[in-house]
Amino acid sequence: MIQISALPAFTDNYIWLLQDPDTQHCAVVDPGDAAPVLAWLKQHPAWTLSDILVTHHHPDHVGGVEQLKALTGAKVYGPAAEKIPARDVALNDNDRLTVLGWDFDVYTVPGHTLGHIAFYHQGVLFCGDTLFAAGCGRLFEGTPQQMHTSLERLAALPDATLVYCTHEYTQSNLAFAQAVEPDNTDIAERVETVRQLRARGEISLPSNLALEKRTNPFLRTSETSVKQKADERNGRDNRSAVEVFASLRAWKDKF
Q: Which residue is nearest to Zn ion (CB)?
A: 58
Q: Is 129 in the site for Zn ion (CB under 5 A)?
A: yes
Closest contact distance (angstroms) between CB of 191 and Zn ion is: 25
- Count of residues near Fe ion by CB under 5 A: 2
Q: Is 60 in the site for Fe ion (CB under 5 A)?
A: yes
Q: 255 Cβ partners below 8 Å, 6+ apart?
A: 175, 176, 179
Q: Which is nearer to Fe ion, 33 or 60 (CB)?
A: 60
The full DSSP string for 23-89 is: TTEEEEE--S-SHHHHHHHHH-TT-EEEEEE-----HHHHTTHHHHHHHH--EEEEETTS--TT-SE
Considering 116, 121, 148, 167, which one is annotated as catalytic? Answer: 167
Selection from 178, 166, 177, 147 nearest residue 207 by Cα: 166
Considering 61, 116, 121, 148, which one is annotated as catalytic? Answer: 61
Q: Is 30 a catalytic residue?
A: no
Spell out, one character per residue from 55 to 94, where the chain touches Zn ion: x when CB under 5 A holds, - when not.
---x------------------------------------
| 146/168 Cα distance (integer angstroms) | 24
Q: Is 33 in the site for Fe ion (CB under 5 A)?
A: no
User: Taking the CB of residue 149, how many other CB atoms lie within 10 A of it?
Assistant: 16
Kindly tell me which residue out of 51, 82, 129, 168 binds Fe ion, with binding defined by CB under 5 A. Answer: 129
Q: Is 105 a catalytic residue?
A: no
Considering 25, 57, 58, 116, which one is annotated as catalytic? Answer: 58
Closest contact distance (angstroms) between CB of 61 and Zn ion is: 6
Choose one: 51-59, 169-177, 205-213, 218-226; the region binding Zn ion (CB under 5 A).
51-59
Closest contact distance (angstroms) between CB of 192 and Zn ion is: 29
User: Taking the CB of residue 92, how many other CB atoms lie within 10 A of it?
Assistant: 12
| 254/200 Cα distance (integer angstroms) | 29
Helix segments in the chain, DSSP class H: 35-43, 59-62, 65-72, 144-155, 170-180, 185-199, 209-215, 224-234, 241-253
- Residues near Zn ion (CB under 5 A) are 58, 129
- Residues near Fe ion (CB under 5 A) are 60, 129
Name the residues annotated as catalytic.
56, 58, 60-61, 112, 129, 167
